Amino acid sequence: MSSNNNTSAHSLQELSESDYEIVDNQPEIFGWDVKDTHNNKVGEVYELLFSEETRKVRYIILDMESNDIDLEEGRVLIPIEVAVFDLENDNVKLPGVSVTNLLALPLYEKGRVINEDTDDEIRIALAKAEKDAPIPPGSIHVTQNKFYGNKTEEGFIAGDDNA
């Protein structure tokens, strides 16, 4: 059992409601458009949740009110490690994340406690195969499966660890 996630979960807070700010060498992504794996605008960056203990952002809060694909309004949590920042166009891209994944994510409300159960819900939602489509290579679902145990000479990179 990992109590580390529960401990840090209780100290997650919204960046705009804290005494902290984005460090100088990092982009200010508040209000940036967020695009799914098919380059559809699925919303905008509403807020960032970070751990006060580690001072690291853990989640982007995606506001789906302003989107190009008729998603219902709501705010969901996107783990920061699945996001790619397009600094040239001020966009956040979510490779491997489809509408199916977004619709399965738990809704975020201010003050919601984020714990291991929430992390599990998010992980399951992001692992769902896109409805009516084959699983694209490099999707989150594919990268979490390790079926390459017999390959000893060649390494298989399942995904970036974003350490």
pLDDT score, position 132 = 62
Residue 47's Cβ-count burial label (10 Å; 0-12, 13-18, 19+) is buried
For residue 37, give the DSSP letter: T
Phi, psi at 98, each rounded to 5°? -110, 175
The residues, ordered by sequence, that sit 6+ positions from 16 with a Cβ below 8 Å of its Cβ are 30, 47, 48
pLDDT score, position 148 = 33
**Residues 146, 150, 155, 156, CA torsion sign:** negative
Strands of 20-95, DSSP E = 33-35, 41-51, 56-63, 75-79, 84-86, 91-93
Mean pLDDT by 10 residues, the chain (163 residues): 43 90 90 95 96 92 93 94 95 94 93 90 92 52 37 34 40
CATH 3.10.20.30 for domain 3-143, yes or no, is no
pLDDT score, position 52 = 87
pLDDT score, position 101 = 94
pLDDT score, position 112 = 85
